[in-house]
A and B are shown apart, each in its own frame.
Chain A
Amino acid sequence: MTTSRRARAATAALALAAVLGGCYNTGTVILLPEKDGRDTAVEVKQGKDTFVLDKPYAAVRQMPAGPLPYTADQKEVDARFGAALAAQPMRAESFTLYFLEGQDEFTVESKEQFEKVLVEITKYPVPDVVVVGHTDTVGNSQFNDDLSRRRAETVRTKLIERGIKPENIVAYGRGKRELLIKTADEVSEPRNRRVEIVVR
């Protein structure tokens, strides 16, 4: 009889789960499809066995008898990991804004761009912002350290004025140490006169 057989199977499965939970450590690992198509893999070591998961939905389940490699699907991911995935924070984003030569004032384009950056930042429920100032190679190190710090601090102040909490914004300068465009010393290069804003 179909009904009773199904009922018996369900009971058996539950009993098995209880035994596993009590006596053994079990678990499942599933590699998820990568959004940006990066080369990725997880290496799973269980005792003397090693499995490399390197394709979307490649999975391994640890059983008392040993690891069981298989291919999972989105349905299983949703059922088993739906709550964990729903709590996943937003990915970090980074933005670059540019300055007028020797100043801590945005270029015209970056002044507009700043408004868009602000919109992106306010999408984060608890934004954590890092502002790093940079310069081109015109001037000595001391001058550029000061200028880069001033650029970062100016942006930090603007963010605070627009409602981002001060304790959630860190700003510092890197002078001319991290050029976006490599140049010789004393070269005026607009693309190096910038701040990088990371929000996460």
Chain B
Amino acid sequence: MPTPIAPAFRISLAVLAVAFTIPAYAADIGQIKIAKGQVTVERAGQAIPAMPGTRLQTGDVLRTGADGSVGLTMSDNSLLSAGPNSVLSLDRYEFDSTTSQGQFDTTLTKGSLAVISGRIAKQSPEAMKVRTPASILGIRGTEFVVSSNDD
């Protein structure tokens, strides 16, 4: 039967299949689920609209304004949410959904972040890292909050 898939998605699937031979749904690293107030995604120097449903890519930088907050679900089921005046970079994301092996590095330059780790951290302790200008956090499968440059 015909399976309607958006053209852009089909292209990224094809590229991934060639490059990594990992299951198709890893094409997107994650998705914005909640966006309140002012939220932007910076991708390759361009600001793109951040709204529920926006798909994320490695290298994206999320910024929230004074009234903003944003919640992300990654493809390994990690949940990240940032409060107001935050800058969160998705520096590195690799995830093999068959083996749960991967690497997930983010940086919280400023603001506040709540994290529930997912399959990457569960499979390999230390495979998930959150950096702030002051510290490096190694995640061993967990739920925590972190802030950077507290007021």
Contacts and interface: CB of A to CB of B under 8 A. Distances in A.
Contacts of B69: 83-84, 86-87
Contacts of B9: 167
A187 interface: no
A140 interface: no
Given A91-B116, A167-B5, A40 B142 contact: yes
B31 A45 contact: no
Contact of B83 (A25, A83, A170): A83
A43 interface: yes
Contacts, number: 173
A62 B31 CA distance: 31
B146 interface: yes
A25 B141 contact: no
Contacts of B132: 25, 27, 62
A20 B110 CA distance: 13
B37 to A, nearest CB: 9
A53 B53 CA distance: 34
B151 A77 contact: no
Interface string A108-141: 0000000000000000111010100000000000
B134 A26 contact: yes
Contact of A126 (B52, B142, B148): B52
B145 interface: yes
Interface string B128-145: 000011111111111111
Contacts of A125: 33-34, 52
Contacts of A83: 69, 83-84, 112
B40 to A, nearest CB: 15
Nearest to A156: B3
Interface of A: 17, 20-21, 24-35, 38-46, 53, 61-62, 67, 77, 80-92, 124-126, 128, 130, 153, 156-157, 166-167, 170-172, 200
15 contacts: A27-B149, A30-B144, A31-B144, A38-B141, A41-B140, A45-B135, A45-B138, A46-B134, A81-B114, A83-B69, A85-B81, A87-B36, A153-B3, A167-B5, A200-B73
